[in-house]
Amino acid sequence: MRKVISLLAIFALLSTSALAFQPEITMLTEDEISKLSDEKLLATYVDIVIEVEASRTFHATSGFTPKDYKAFKELLRYRIKIIKEIRGRGLEVPVTE
């Protein structure tokens, strides 16, 4: 009985850890991005940079699975779309580094 409880506890921790490092942003379509106010567009960019850096740090210490790698590439692609919209509006991309 004790072994079963221990295994369940370990499984619960591993499941929680894996879910905790999924991107915490909603990726918008290019049409939705174009409808954001300037302030929201810039705030969204900052959120993306934070997610990218957090993801890099997490994966540098624990490695990528194929699923993680795909999610990271999607996050980078989304960052580029946001930068494109920011520059298209003549706004300055916030300095984050």
Q: Is residue 96 within 8 Å of 52, Cβ to Cβ?
A: no
pTM above 0.95, yes or no: no
Tens of pLDDT, residues 17-64: 444 445 667 889 999 999 999 999 998 988 888 788 777 777 677 766
CATH code at 23-97: 1.10.287
Tens of pLDDT, residues 57-88: 776 777 667 777 778 778 888 888 999 999 99
